[in-house]
């Protein structure tokens, strides 16, 4: 059955849980869910991606603000920031039955989480303690703490698993951590309001957004000599790239060749060639862009504009806007389904999630969320 109009699709989905016949055809044992944290409700909204509907709402800790899906196990991790003077925690959600399987206490005001590629270790950023909690995910406990800069806000683990790069918003700095030794290797000052981090697929370089200014910091990461002939390198500041005002988020193409900077106070994006650190240009994109996401084929960039009801679509190859997708109020977090046929847009102000079909770049349906939705992760797997 093909749903011809959005309104009809919403009604049919609500009554029968159907999906358009040109959606992916899933095996009976396939499961996929999207998880959205609701800061005001202390909950996570769970959405069934296969049937495009609400599955349930899970009670977690106080003020959940970040979520990540394990790449190797059927688990999802929710960071509960709590109160400014209280201890935060991480809720472990079993994705197979969508229930809380455990809670790990961390430290003051955790705000973000990064997972290593093998899914065994999580790094939780405690912004109120200026530390990183290292979690053994199998044992469900904290095994170490690493001191970093003031108010760590974002982190990324290199694809080779050897390096953790941390953006310290309050410390105006970037910390590079040896993940194996769990020790700081280097600290780079001069990134005011450091807010986001990306690392290239070959683990050779990291970029950090300096949100209190107008620059992006590029840092070469240390590695040993490689079989392909590349010489050993050390951690060093490579350059500071001039972009727009208040760069708040970095969206890296899956192939790592280009990066797009959301300049929230310039209403623009800047395009960066990652191999040369060249800023190719800036393009007006909408009212307060805060999040970007590049399609898996590297062709399209989707940008959520917080002070609007629009996600803008930008052609990477052509360097121009293709048009806007009307969603809810305050689009602030984005995620693709595993097959890439759906884009989930978290609308912070209207408190809902817009589901967009990427084939025609139109909204398919709108699903309710809790109070103050703010982050999203998607997990797919098969059950035996």
pLDDT of residue 85: 84
Stated pTM of the model: 0.93
Q: Encoding tokens for residue 228?
A: 């392909």
* Core vs surface per residue 145-162: b (16+ CB within 10 A) or e: bbebbebbbbbbbbebeb
Per DSSP, 318 falls in state T
What is the average pLDDT score of the chain? Answer: 93
Using alpha carbons only, what angle is made at residue 28 by residues 22 and 30, rounded to the nearest 5 degrees?
80
Query: Is 149 contained in some domain?
Result: yes
CATH of the domain at 171: 2.130.10.10
What length does the chain have?
384
Average pLDDT, integer, range 336-344: 97
Number of domains in the chain: 1
pLDDT of residue 284: 96
What is the C-alpha separation between 2 and 10, in angstroms, rounded?
A: 12
Q: Is pLDDT above 80 for 12?
A: no
Q: Is pLDDT above 50 for 224?
A: yes
Using alpha carbons only, what angle is made at residue 338 by residues 333 and 344, rounded to the nearest 5 degrees?
30
Q: Which of 179-183, 197-201, 226-230, 380-384 has the lowest mean pLDDT?
A: 226-230
Q: Which of 53-62, 213-222, 230-239, 260-269 has the lowest mean pLDDT?
A: 230-239
Q: Is pLDDT above 70 for 18?
A: no
What is the C-alpha separation between 287 and 361, in angstroms, rounded?
A: 19
Report helix, strand or coil for 13.
Answer: helix
Q: Is pLDDT above 60 for 15?
A: no
Question: Long-range contacts made by residues 320-323, C-beta under 8 angstroms, separation at least 24?
Answer: 320/283, 321/283, 321/285, 322/361, 323/361
Confidence bin at 233 (pLDDT 50/70/90): confident
Query: Is 122 contained in some domain?
Result: yes
216 contacts 227 by C-beta, under 8 angstroms: no
Q: What is the pLDDT of residues 286-313, one digit of tens each?
A: 999 999 999 999 999 999 999 999 999 9
pLDDT of residue 86: 86
DSSP 115-183: E-TTSSEEEEEETTTTEEEEEETTTTEEEEEEE-SSSEEEEEE-TTSSEEEEEETTTTEEEEEETTTTE
Query: Is 4 contained in some domain?
Result: no
What is the C-alpha separation between 312 and 296, in angstroms, rounded?
A: 17
Q: Is pLDDT above 80 for 244?
A: yes
Average pLDDT, integer, range 22-43: 94
Q: Give the CA distances from residue 110 to residues 80, 151, 157, 294, in Å, rounded to whole numbers and listed in that order.
A: 7, 10, 17, 27
Query: Is 47 contained in some domain?
Result: yes
pLDDT of residue 231: 80
Query: Is 335 contained in some domain?
Result: no
- What percent of the chain is modeled with pLDDT above 70? 94
Q: Is pLDDT above 70 for 120?
A: yes
What is the C-alpha separation between 254 and 157, in angstroms, rounded?
A: 15
Query: Is 192 contained in some domain?
Result: yes
Q: Give every strand in the sheet of 131-136, ordered side by side.
A: 110-115, 121-126, 131-136, 141-147
Confidence bin at 3 (pLDDT 50/70/90): very low
Query: Domain range holding 139?
Result: 30-294+372-382
Query: Is 356 contained in some domain?
Result: no
Q: Give the CA distances from residue 133 to residues 41, 145, 146, 293, 324, in Å, rounded to whole numbers and listed in that order.
A: 25, 5, 7, 27, 40
Query: Is 208 contained in some domain?
Result: yes
Q: Which of 65-69, 127-131, 197-201, 226-230 has the lowest mean pLDDT?
A: 226-230
What is the C-alpha separation between 264 and 248, in angstroms, rounded?
A: 6
């Amino acid at each position: 059955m093909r749903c011809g109009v959005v309104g009809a699709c919403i009604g049919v989905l609500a009554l029968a849980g159907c999906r358009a016949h040109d959606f992916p055809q899933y095996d009976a044992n396939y499961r996929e869910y999207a998880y959205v944290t609701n800061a005001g409700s202390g909950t996570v909204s769970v959405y069934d991606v296969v049937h495009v509907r609400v599955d349930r709402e899970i009670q977690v800790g106080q003020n959940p603000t970040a979520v990540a899906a394990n790449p190797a196990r059927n688990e999802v991790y929710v960071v509960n920031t709590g109160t400014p003077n209280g201890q935060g925690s991480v809720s472990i959600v079993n994705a197979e039955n969508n229930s809380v399987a455990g809670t790990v206490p961390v430290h003051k005001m955790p705000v973000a989480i990064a997972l290593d590629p093998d899914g065994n270790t999580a790094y939780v950023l405690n912004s109120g303690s200026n530390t990183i909690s290292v979690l053994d995910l199998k044992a469900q406990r904290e095994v170490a703490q690493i001191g970093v800069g003031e108010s760590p806000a974002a982190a990324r683990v290199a694809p080779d698993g050897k390096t953790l790069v941390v953006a310290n918003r309050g410390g105006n700095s970037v910390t590079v951590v040896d993940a194996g030794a769990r020790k700081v290797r280097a600290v780079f000052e001069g990134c005011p309001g450091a807010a986001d981090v990306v690392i290239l697929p070959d683990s050779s370089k990291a970029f950090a957004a300096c949100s209190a200014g107008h620059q992006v910091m590029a840092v070469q990461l240390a590695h040993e000599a490689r079989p392909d002939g590349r010489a050993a390198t050390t951690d060093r500041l490579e350059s500071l790239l001039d972009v727009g005002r208040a760069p708040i988020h970095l969206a890296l193409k899956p192939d790592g060749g280009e990066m797009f900077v959301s300049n929230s106070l310039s209403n623009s994006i800047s395009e960066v060639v990652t191999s040369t650190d060249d800023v190719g240009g800036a393009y007006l994109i909408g009212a307060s862009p805060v999040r970007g996401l590049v399609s898996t084929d590297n062709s399209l960039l989707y940008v959520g504009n917080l002070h609007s009801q629009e996600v803008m679509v930008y052609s990477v190859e052509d360097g121009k806007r293709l048009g806007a997708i009307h969603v809810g109020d305050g689009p602030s977090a984005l995620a693709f389904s595993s097959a890439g046929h759906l884009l989930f847009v978290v609308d912070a102000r209207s408190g809902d999630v817009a589901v967009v079909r990427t084939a025609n770049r139109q909204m398919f349906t709108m699903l309710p969320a809790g109070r103050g939705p703010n982050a999203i992760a998607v997990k797919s797997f098969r059950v035996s």
